[in-house]
Amino acid sequence: MTSPPRDVVTSPPLSATRGGLPTRVLGSRRAVAGLALLAALVALAFAGPLASPWGWADTDIAAFWEPPSSGHWFGTTQSGRDVFALVLRGMRRSLFIGLGVAALATGPAAVVGMVAGYAGGWGDRVLMGGADLLLVLPPVLVAAVLSPALGSGGPALVVLLAAFMWTVTARSVRAMTLSLREREFVLAARFLGATAPHVIVRHLLPHLASLLVADASLNVGAAIVAESGLAHLGLGVRPPDVSLGTLVADGGGTATTHPWPFGFAAGMLALIVLAVNLLGDGLRDALDPADAR
């Protein structure tokens, strides 16, 4: 096994080469663009209702299937609900679900994967056995069983989705930890008497950061889409409440004749995914110690 010379004694000094983390993140055009887009979307989702004359639960019985106009900016649905207000409501729901699941899935996955990989032995077997067991349970069944407790797209749904999404990440984190553990800079730190938590946080985490960020950014979109799938089966957000996923799903059937409910919801979903991916890619490049370009 050979390693790049910079790893011989210690982990590469991250800050010395390219400035502090904020500097590097702000230096990445993609990260800045992603952050700005995400901030704009959050602002729109929360401030938009103040400007809109219609609430998301209102129905305008004078306007069914109305195309976008000055009265209804994004048009109305079949039952006369204002698409602009609905899309913003869905965005708040979906941003909460997507960002919540990403944090709740990737964080524990990093901890479990690193501990299992670094400690090895029985702890490793039990943790990974638990992850494998979750993999073989049908999520639809678990969601159906828990659905009385899930409510309508609240925090319980976030926890459920995260519980099913963390396992794959935990596996890849563990696999990377296993190989990092044998690298010279980690061995050196251990022989110098560094404690396990110190090695994990100071020497393993920086090398795993890019993987984790990429994973978290993927999970945001995946969680939003997964919620729409559950809602499609009657297990996620329930009518009259909406999420971007349910709007896209409901609008898909009539997209050919009345494209606006589907188009605006799908567009916002795509923008959220785009923003998170841009931010993730930018952070990935900024965090990766091997990528010194």
Partner 1 sequence: MAVFLARRLAYSAVLAVLGASLTYVLAATALRPRAGFETRTPRPPEAVVHAELRRLNLDDRVPLAVRYRTWAAGVVHGDLGHTRQDGPVGAELRRRAGVSVRLLLPGTVLGCALGVLLGAYAAARRGRAADRAIVAGSALLPAVPVFVLAVLLQFAAGKVNDVTGMRIFEWTGESSPGAGGPADRVRHLLLPTVTIALSQVALYCRYQRGLMLDVLSAEHMRTARAKGLRRRRVLLRHGLRVALVPMTAYSAYAFGLMLVGAAFTEKVFGWHGLGEWLVESIGHGDVNAVAAVGSLAAGTVLLAGLVSDVVRGVLDPRTRTAEVAAAPTTAAP
Task: Give the interface with partner 1 as residue ranges (CB under 8 A).
Answer: 1-3, 129, 132-133, 135-142, 144-145, 167-168, 171-172, 174-176, 178-180, 182-183, 214, 218, 221-222, 224-225, 228-229, 232-233, 245, 248-249, 252-253, 255-256, 262, 266, 269-270, 272-274, 277, 290
- Provide the minimum distance between the beta carbon of 218 and partner 1 in the complex, in angstroms, as a whole number: 7
Of 72 and 102, the one with the shorter C-beta distance to partner 1 is: 102
Residue with smaller CB distance to partner 1, 76 or 210: 210
In this structure, the number of other CB atoms found within 10 A of the CB of residue 4 comes to 10
The amino acid at 77: T
User: Taking the mean position of all CA atoms in its chain, how far away is CA 290?
Assistant: 24
Beta bridge partners of 81: 59
Query: Please, what is the minimum distance in Å from the beta carbon of residue 264 to partner 1?
Result: 14
Q: From the CB of 232, what's the least distance to partner 1, in Å?
A: 6
Cα–Cα distances (Å) from 192 to 7, 117, 127, 188, 189, in that order, read: 15, 20, 28, 6, 5
Shortest Å, Cβ 55 to partner 1: 26
CB nearer partner 1, residue 104 or residue 278: 278
Phi, psi torsion values for 28, nearest 5 degrees: -90, 120
What is the nearest approach in angstroms of partner 1 to the Cβ of residue 32? 17
For 122-174, the DSSP string reads HHHHHHHHHHHHHHHS-HHHHHHHHHHHHTTTSHHHHHHHHHHHHHHHHHHHH
* Residue 158 or 244 with smaller CB distance to partner 1: 244
Calpha distance 267→282 (Å, rounded): 22
Looking at beta carbons only, is 72 or 231 nearer to partner 1? 231
CA atoms of 25 and 155, how far apart (whole Å): 30
Q: What are phi and psi of 123, to 5 degrees?
A: -55, -45
Nearer to partner 1, 69 or 179 (CB): 179
The structure tokens listed for 41 are 């979307």
Q: Between residues 70 and 257, which has the closer beta carbon with respect to partner 1?
A: 257
Q: What is the Cα–Cα distance from 96 to 279, expressed in whole angstroms?
A: 17
Residue 247 CB, shortest distance to partner 1, in Å, is: 11
- Among 260, 236, 262, 259, smallest CA distance to 249 is for 262
Q: What is the smallest separation between the CB atom of 102 and partner 1, expressed in angstroms?
A: 13
